[in-house]
């Protein structure tokens, strides 16, 4: 068989690791059904409970170990697994299977676990889907123990060279089980950046790659490998030159990391004295911590869908208020821009019964859903008005395509404010309203929207999707999804020019703003407020501080004749190289933004 020597997955924990491959299956042992004699059923149920208790103790040990090695927050990851073993309803169902079908404990447990796994992996909640590996961690441990094995297979012996563990599904337990000088890297067929095991690997500083589909078939135990967790690449039997080249890159990465650490705490001002405002995009309460640590001047996009998606009931007004207050409390001196529910497309919460649509992304989405469900919208608006009594909370509408969407929202805001006054509830009388510019329709009527809006914010993810007719989540079209397409660049230029003419602030809050070349271009186009995911703030701050706006403006002038996205990036790269070390800049790039992004080892 002609195997490839270079395998590509998703880099989820940066760094370089060299070692010998060791494979571990997280699939768990084979289980055979056995019939239990009626008089032995009590013993069988007892055996289940004893095992659960043993595994629980083992998980508590792992939690403690994680607390020592990675920290208290990371240790909480094991709480979820321990809770699974305390779920009386679930254990009652396993017991029911044993008694009702005279089934052995391991078969009953496995059956119920597979049922749960199926439910979670098909859930609309991304959070549940990401937690499937946690379930596997519990399942494998309990099954091993029920079969009389150790809670986990022993794992690699400590030898003279470190080991790289290859597994089908990296679980949190496996990640913390070995010391770094023993297991230097992980490669997992399943999982993404947000998996618990990925978070742990990052905290422990162990390079890790996930999503390497078919990786186990490609590797023989004992093979020499190098894992580049920054770019998600594994090289089998690497040559000395290859290792040296990767070490060089690693040194550059560390140099960039050092530069970024230095940038945090410095003002976001260009070389020629132009101040930029950098804000954070927030999905979860936790994100605001990173945003504050990285000097965010407010929240430019507070997504609210997670309050509702994956739940069986809508959040109450008070719960929403607490959510806004917690975020605002951490960034008290700055605006917090709450985006109204961006439901629809693929994000529909359980409380909505929605008929399937042929083209959900062109369908009943975002502001359209909110306006059609005033009861849902009112509770969000009321919570925002109440939060605004003590903080600079603002309201932003996603996927605007009509002026009426803004004017109808404004009427609802006035009605809600009047209701709150009548009820004697402490709340603001009004709130600044902004439209997201995410469609060519909105981009072409900035002047009309300006009459009704207090600010604008460009959602370049959707703007790119709807301008280029490229589903942003379709991997097959990933190369076509680029915000450097000349049509998108022209729209961006038009938006900022029109907004300035109308005297409106305009932010860019799509992913693009966190991409080094794009940030350079956006500054040249005239954007002065960028909102990015909190982890990218140091990078954007660093770029701002290297640049001079006149050079960025000149670079943008040179884009007028660009025919393709490649022309745009090449031109920007040449111009930016006059100010920034390109090797460092390349490391900070987001490949998804760039249709030319190819990978060469």
Q: Which residues are annotated as catalytic?
A: 196, 509
151 binds, among Mg ion, ligand PEP, none (CB under 5 to 8 A by kind): none
Cβ–Cβ < 8 Å for 153, 179: no
Determine the interface stretch with Mg ion among 274-282, 290-298, 461-469, 518-526 (rule: CB under 5 A): 461-469
* Total length of the chain: 601
594 binds, among ligand PEP, Mg ion, none (CB under 5 to 8 A by kind): none
Q: Does 510 bind ligand PEP (CB under 6 A)?
A: yes
Q: How far, rounded to the nearest angstrom, does the alpha carbon of residue 337 sit from its chain's CA centroid?
A: 19
Q: Which of 110, 169, 228, 342 binds ligand PEP (CB under 6 A)?
A: 342
Question: Residues with Cβ < 8 Å from 405, sequence gap 6 or more?
Answer: 367, 368, 371, 397, 435
Distances (CA, A) of 315 to 128, 349, 377: 18, 11, 12
Classify residue 83 by burial, with Cβ atoms within 10 Å: 0-12, 13-18, 19+: exposed
Residue with Cβ nearer ligand PEP (22 or 466): 466
Q: Minimal distance in Å, beta carbon 509 to Mg ion?
A: 9
Determine the interface stretch with Mg ion among 66-74, 288-296, 455-463, 555-563 (rule: CB under 5 A): 455-463
Q: Minimal distance in Å, beta carbon 20 to Mg ion?
A: 45
In 3D space, the residue among 85, 83, 94, 107 whose CA is nearest the CA of residue 33 turns out to be 107
Cβ–Cβ < 8 Å for 531, 300: yes
Q: Does 165 bind ligand PEP (CB under 6 A)?
A: no
Cβ–Cβ < 8 Å for 129, 123: yes
Determine the interface stretch with ligand PEP among 250-258, 455-463, 495-503, 546-554 (rule: CB under 6 A): 455-463
Q: Determine the Cα–Cα distance for residues 149 and 180; give it in Å rounded to an integer.
A: 25
393 strand-pairing partners: 336
Q: Minimal distance in Å, beta carbon 198 to ligand PEP?
A: 21
Residue with Cβ nearer ligand PEP (155 or 363): 363
513 binds, among ligand PEP, Mg ion, none (CB under 5 to 8 A by kind): none
Q: Minimal distance in Å, beta carbon 461 to ligand PEP?
A: 3
* Count of residues interacting with ligand PEP (CB under 6 A): 10
Residue with Cβ nearer Mg ion (242 or 283): 283
Determine the interface stretch with ligand PEP among 211-219, 270-278, 459-467, 586-594 (rule: CB under 6 A): 459-467
Residue with Cβ nearer ligand PEP (325 or 462): 462
Residue with Cβ nearer ligand PEP (303 or 494): 303
Q: Determine the Cα–Cα distance for residues 101 and 113; give it in Å rounded to an integer.
A: 17
534 binds, among ligand PEP, Mg ion, none (CB under 5 to 8 A by kind): none
Classify residue 369 by burial, with Cβ atoms within 10 Å: 0-12, 13-18, 19+: buried
458 strand-pairing partners: 437, 508
Residue with Cβ nearer ligand PEP (396 or 552): 396
Q: Minimal distance in Å, beta carbon 254 to ligand PEP?
A: 31
249 binds, among ligand PEP, Mg ion, none (CB under 5 to 8 A by kind): none
Q: Determine the Cα–Cα distance for residues 572 and 595; give it in Å rounded to an integer.
A: 14
Residue with Cβ nearer ligand PEP (162 or 349): 349
Window 433-452: residues binding Mg ion (CB under 5 A): 438
Cβ–Cβ < 8 Å for 92, 98: no
Burial of 278-308, coded b for 16+ CB within 10 Å and e otherwise, reads bbbbbeeeebbeebbebbbbbbbbbbbbbbb
Q: Does 460 bind ligand PEP (CB under 6 A)?
A: yes
Residue with Cβ nearer ligand PEP (167 or 460): 460
- Give 466-516 as a 3 state SS string: HHHCCCCCCHHHHHHCCCCCHHHHHHHHHHHHHHHHCCCEEEECCHHHHCH
Q: Determine the Cα–Cα distance for residues 98 and 92; give it in Å rounded to an integer.
A: 10
Neighbours of 503 (CB within 10 A): 7
- Give me the residue label for tokens 């998703």: 10
Fill in the DSSP letter of residue 437.
E
Residue with Cβ nearer ligand PEP (191 or 398): 398
Q: Determine the Cα–Cα distance for residues 440 and 463; give it in Å rounded to an integer.
A: 7
Question: Residues with Cβ < 8 Å from 118, sequence gap 6 or more?
Answer: none
Q: Which of 108, 197, 278, 301 binds ligand PEP (CB under 6 A)?
A: 301
Q: Minimal distance in Å, beta carbon 439 to Mg ion?
A: 10
Distances (CA, A) of 142 to 104, 109, 494: 13, 8, 60
Q: Does 280 bind ligand PEP (CB under 6 A)?
A: no
Q: Determine the Cα–Cα distance for residues 22 and 222; give it in Å rounded to an integer.
A: 6
The 284-303 site mask, x for binding Mg ion (CB under 5 A), equals --------------------
Q: Minimal distance in Å, beta carbon 366 to Mg ion?
A: 8
Determine the interface stretch with ligand PEP among 191-199, 222-230, 270-278, 457-465 (rule: CB under 6 A): 457-465
Residue with Cβ nearer Mg ion (320 or 460): 460
Q: What is the CA radius of gyration of the chain?
A: 26
Q: Does 509 bind ligand PEP (CB under 6 A)?
A: yes
Residue with Cβ nearer Mg ion (325 or 438): 438
Q: Minimal distance in Å, beta carbon 410 to Mg ion?
A: 21
Window 65-104: residues binding ligand PEP (CB under 6 A): none
Q: Which of 300, 459, 526, 538 binds Mg ion (CB under 5 A)?
A: 459
- As given in the structure block, the two tokens for residue 249 are 């890159």
Q: Which run of H or of E encompasses 178?
A: none
Window 232-261: residues binding ligand PEP (CB under 6 A): none
In 3D space, the residue among 31, 34, 48 whose CA is nearest the CA of residue 102 turns out to be 34
Q: Does 462 bind Mg ion (CB under 5 A)?
A: yes
Q: Does 438 bind ligand PEP (CB under 6 A)?
A: yes
Q: Which of 249, 303, 528, 589 binds ligand PEP (CB under 6 A)?
A: 303
In 3D space, the residue among 380, 310, 276 whose CA is nearest the CA of residue 338 turns out to be 380
* Count of residues interacting with Mg ion (CB under 5 A): 3
Window 53-82: residues binding Mg ion (CB under 5 A): none
Q: Minimal distance in Å, beta carbon 6 to ligand PEP?
A: 32
Neighbours of 404 (CB within 10 A): 11
Backbone torsions φ then ψ of 373, nearest 5 degrees: -125, 70
Q: Which of 192, 290, 401, 461 binds ligand PEP (CB under 6 A)?
A: 461
Interaction site with ligand PEP (CB under 6 A): 301, 303, 342, 438, 459-462, 509-510
- Give the footprint of Mg ion on this chain (CB under 5 A): 438, 459, 462
């Amino acid at each position: 068989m002609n195997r490839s020597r270079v395998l590509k997955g998703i880099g989820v924990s940066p760094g370089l690791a060299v070692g010998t491959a060791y494979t571990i299956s997280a699939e768990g042992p084979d289980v055979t059904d056995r019939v239990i004699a009626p008089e032995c059923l009590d013993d069988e149920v007892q055996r289940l409970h004893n095992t659960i208790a043993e595994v629980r103790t083992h998980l508590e040990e792992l939690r403690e170990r994680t607390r020592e090695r990675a920290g208290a927050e990371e240790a909480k990851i094991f709480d979820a697994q321990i809770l699974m073993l305390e779920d009386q309803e679930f254990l009652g169902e396993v017991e029911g299977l044993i008694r009702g079908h005279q089934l052995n404990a391991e078969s009953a447990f496995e059956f119920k676990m597979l049922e749960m796994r199926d439910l979670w992996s098909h859930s609309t909640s991304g959070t549940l889907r990401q937690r499937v590996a946690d379930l596997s961690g519990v399942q494998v441990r309990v099954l091993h123990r029920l079969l009389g094995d150790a809670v986990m297979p022993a794992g690699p012996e400590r030898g003279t060279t470190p080991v790289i563990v290859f597994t089908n599904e990296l679980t949190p337990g496996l990640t913390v089980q070995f010391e770094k000088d023993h297991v230097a890297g992980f490669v997992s067929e399943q999982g993404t950046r947000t998996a618990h095991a990925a978070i742990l690997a990052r905290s422990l500083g162990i390079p890790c790659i996930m999503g390497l589909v078919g990786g186990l078939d490609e590797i023989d135990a004992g093979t020499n490998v190098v894992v580049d967790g920054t770019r998600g690449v594994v090289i089998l039997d690497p040559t000395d030159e290859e290792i040296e080249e990767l070490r060089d890159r690693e040194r550059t990465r560390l140099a960039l990391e050092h530069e970024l650490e230095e940038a945090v705490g410095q003002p976001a001002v260009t070389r020629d004295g132009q101040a930029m405002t950098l804000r954070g995009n927030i999905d979860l309460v936790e994100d605001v911590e990173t945003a504050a640590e990285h000097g965010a001047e407010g929240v430019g996009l507070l997504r609210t869908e997670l309050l509702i998606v994956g739940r069986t009931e809508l959040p109450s007004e008070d719960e929403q208020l607490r959510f806004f207050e917690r975020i605002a409390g951490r960034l008290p001196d700055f605006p917090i821009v709450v985006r109204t529910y961006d439901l629809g497309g693929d994000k529909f919460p359980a409380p909505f019964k929605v008929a399937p649509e042929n083209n959900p992304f062109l369908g009943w989405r975002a502001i359209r859903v909110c306006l059609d469900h005033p009861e849902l919208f009112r509770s969000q608006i009321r919570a925002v008005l109440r939060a605004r009594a003590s903080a600079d909370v603002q309201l932003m509408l996603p996927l605007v395509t009509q002026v009426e969407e803004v004017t109808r929202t404004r009427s609802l805001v006035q009605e809600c404010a009047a209701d709150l006054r009548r009820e004697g509830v402490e709340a603001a009388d009004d709130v600044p309203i902004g439209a997201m510019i995410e469609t060519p329709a909105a981009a072409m009527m900035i002047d009309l929207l300006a009459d009704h809006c207090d600010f604008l914010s460009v959602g370049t993810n959707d703007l790119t999707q709807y301008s280029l007719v490229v589903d942003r989540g379709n991997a097959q079209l990933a190369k076509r999804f680029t915000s450097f397409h000349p049509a998108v660049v022209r729209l961006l230029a038009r938006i900022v020019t029109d907004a300035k003419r109308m005297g409106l602030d305009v932010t860019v809050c799509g992913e693009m703003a966190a991409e080094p070349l794009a940030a350079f271009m956006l500054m040249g186009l005239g954007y002065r407020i960028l909102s990015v995911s909190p982890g990218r703030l140091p990078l954007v701050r660093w770029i701002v501080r290297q640049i001079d706006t006149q050079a960025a403006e000149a670079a943008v002038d040179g884009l007028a004749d660009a025919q393709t996205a490649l022309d745009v990036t090449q031109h920007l790269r040449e111009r930016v190289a006059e100010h920034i070390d390109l090797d460092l800049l390349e490391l900070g790039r987001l490949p998804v933004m760039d249709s030319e992004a190819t990978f060469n080892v």
